[in-house]
Structure 1
């Protein structure tokens, strides 16, 4: 059965709902009958379908300028992809568009201005296997491996007796959803510029990171106490203020289609 799945409207169609329910039903039946290969394949198909839907929703949120919600959904895409990729062939990841999605998720995330996150610290009493319930100890483990698939179910280590110890501020978080920024104070120009030229979530595109030089006069609105536009980490007054030109990071977006001439102009960020 061929399924059209490109737009948000497609994700809400009766065809998609029926496909999801059918996969769930077939997975349960296969698991009951001990047909592990069939149960695992249904799990892959179901998770792959849900990942496609999640990616489309995230793209739609970018279009709607709901950047924080899209960021959260991109992280969920990453997590789903991690588990699916551990239990799938490269052929499946390619034909189900999951490798495409993962590539674009990473690139979308790289365009976000987020740089500060909170990271909770926990003390865990013990873990147990989600498949058999075995209490996981350093020298006492069951036959199930974390992240692997067993009869249509993913093996996870469930947390018990968890105690929160504190919260740290980090730049490279384990959980990316914990953003410590007020979006209204941030510049999302790069993402806005990109998605304004994309018609749907599965249109191919790429980016190239370079640097461009601009005359110092272009930076008249930058205070000497502000961070230098060259991204050196120093203030403008201590870095490039006395130079004739300032070299700043630049991103070229590469599209799979020709763009109108007015869409190819350089957006100067200062």
Structure 2
């Protein structure tokens, strides 16, 4: 069964949930019959459909400026894209827009101002295989590989006897959902500029990272001992404070259509 699935309204089609239930039923039946090819195909179809639903919902949340909830959905899309791509043919990925979604998710994430995250540090007693329950040791592993599908089931390693040791603050987290920011203090102007130019989740767009120079007078509010606006990593006093102009990172958007009266990206200083 094929669905029109490009807008948020389409995600409410009850036939979609029926299709997901049917795929699960057929997958379980195939797994019992040890028809691994059919079971794996059902898994792929189900995961690809769920990915599309989550991506469209994330897009809808971005259109409504619900940035934090959209961020959580984008992370789920990122994870699903990697798992589906690892377990599918190139032809399947192209047909189901896996690569497109993966690229657009990455683009959207890069427009977020989030840069501080929490990361738990823990000690794990041991891991077991999610397929055969084998206790995994350095010299004793089963035949199943983490992240691969077997008879319609994804192989994961299950952690046991977990002891939480610490919570660290990091800039590059393993899990992106653990944002340590108050959204009310952040600048979402890049997303605020982009979203009115897009009508549907599958509109094609891109951006180019460039630089743009501004007169030094525009940075009068920047503390001399704070990070330089040019993002060199040096402090302002020792970097650009004595220059006539400051060159800072700039985004140039490549949009699918001309849109009048787009909001301006706020000058950050």
TM-score, length of structure 1 as denominator length:
0.94
Residue 183 of structure 1 corresponds to 183
Residue 91 of structure 1 corresponds to 91
The answer on whether the counterparts of 2:78 and 2:102 sit within 8 Å (CA) in structure 1 is: yes
TM superposition shift of 1:265: 6.3
**Structure 1 residues 34 and 164, CA gap change in structure 2 (3 angstroms):** same
Q: Where do 5+ consecutive residues of structure 1 fail to align?
A: none
What is the alpha-carbon distance in structure 2 between the residues aligned to residue 6 and residue 238 of structure 1?
A: 50
Residue 130 of structure 1 corresponds to 130
Q: Deviations over 1:84-136 (max 9, x none)?
A: 11110111111101110000111111111111111101111111111111111
TM superposition shift of 1:264: 8.9
What is the alpha-carbon distance in structure 2 between the residues aligned to residue 168 and residue 265 of structure 1?
A: 36
Residue 256 of structure 2 corresponds to 256
What is the alpha-carbon distance in structure 1 between the residues aligned to residue 170 and residue 192 of structure 2?
A: 26
Q: Deviations over 1:225-256 (max 9, x none)?
A: 54332122334344323322111110001012
Structure 1 segments (4+ residues) deviating >4 Å: 264-267
Describe the SS at the equivalent of 1:263. Answer: coil
What is the alpha-carbon distance in structure 1 between the residues aligned to residue 173 and residue 58 of structure 2?
A: 20
What is the alpha-carbon distance in structure 1 between the residues aligned to residue 262 and residue 191 of structure 2?
A: 14
1:61-140 to structure 2, matched below 5 A, reads 61-140=61-140
TM superposition shift of 1:83: 1.3
Q: Give the paired residue count.
A: 269
TM superposition shift of 1:42: 0.4
Residue 195 of structure 2 corresponds to 195
Describe the SS at the equivalent of 2:236. Answer: coil
**Structure 1 residues 264 and 123, CA gap change in structure 2 (3 angstroms):** closer
Q: Deviations over 1:195-254 (max 9, x none)?
A: 121111110001100001122233344344543321223343443233221111100010
1:36 matched to 2:36 = yes
What is the alpha-carbon distance in structure 2 between the residues aligned to residue 207 and residue 152 of structure 1?
A: 38
What is the alpha-carbon distance in structure 1 between the residues aligned to residue 61 and residue 264 of structure 2?
A: 25
TM superposition shift of 1:183: 1.0
Describe the SS at the equivalent of 2:75. Answer: helix
Describe the SS at the equivalent of 2:60. Answer: helix
Residue 208 of structure 2 corresponds to 208
The answer on whether the counterparts of 2:27 and 2:38 sit within 8 Å (CA) in structure 1 is: yes
What is the alpha-carbon distance in structure 1 between the residues aligned to residue 80 and residue 172 of structure 2?
A: 20
Moved more, 59-68 or 44-53: 59-68
Describe the SS at the equivalent of 1:196. Answer: helix
Moved more, 185-194 or 234-243: 234-243
Residue 268 of structure 2 corresponds to 269
What is the alpha-carbon distance in structure 2 between the residues aligned to residue 121 and residue 268 of structure 1?
A: 38
Q: Where do 5+ consecutive residues of structure 2 fail to align?
A: none
Describe the SS at the equivalent of 1:50. Answer: helix
The answer on whether the counterparts of 1:113 and 1:186 sit within 8 Å (CA) in structure 2 is: yes
TM superposition shift of 1:259: 3.1
What is the alpha-carbon distance in structure 1 between the residues aligned to residue 152 and residue 140 of structure 2?
A: 24
TM superposition shift of 1:57: 1.2
What is the alpha-carbon distance in structure 2 between the residues aligned to residue 268 and residue 63 of structure 1?
A: 22
